[in-house]
Amino acid sequence: MIEPTEQRITLGPLTLAAQSWGDPAASPLLAVHGWLDNAASFAKLAPLLATRFHVIALDLPGHGHADHLPAGTHYHFPDYVRVVLAAADVLKLQRFALLGHSLGAGVASLTAAAAPAHIEQLYLIEGLGPLGDDGTQTLARFRKALAAPAASDKSLRRFRDIDQAVGARAIASGLRAELARPIVERGLRQT
């Protein structure tokens, strides 16, 4: 299997990370992962796509090796679109294919809608787009969100070793351990 190349992408005070596969001269494909995932979620698929594309899988802010947002700020869905477009700009991608999985599929859909001149092809895996409703529960959800503790107030979950972390992820997600391992390895921080 082709090993990825690690990249750092500086967006002002924020540094993202990415993994890339394939020939940099090939047509670019920017990949956006799902919620609770990171660039390593494309570890099995990207080498197959690298026969046709230069695959660049982003770590969104707060995921994988990317910086977290400062304390007191929040991860809003439209901001991910800005991050994807800013990363594409830093990478000098004028036109590119865009691949999104789950949350990343929703981000990719909105990115393609917001900047169609940049997107050559759009690929979605488990892509439902942003979820919505008729608005009757908006106020109740807003109040619940305000009452919830900030993510920065949560203590980190600790594991005795990588295998325990992989096992927990496999159980929670339904992924086989060998598929969960690259995502877990990239997302762990040693303390």
Give the residue numbers annotated as catalytic, written as ranges.
102
3-state SS assignment for residue 42: helix
Q: Which residue has the tokens 């351990």?
A: 177
Element (DSSP H or E) covering residue 162: helix 162-173
CA-closest candidate to residue 182, choices 57, 53, 52: 57
Neighbours of 35 (CB within 10 A): 12
Cα angle for residues 10, 13, 18 (degrees, 5° grid):
30
Alpha carbon distance 164, 97 (integer Å): 36
Q: Sheet harboring 14-21: ordered strands across?
A: 5-11, 14-21, 53-59, 27-32, 96-101, 119-125
Q: What are residue 59's phi and psi, to 5 degrees?
A: -100, 115
- Whether 11 and 90 have beta carbons less than 8 Å apart is answered as yes
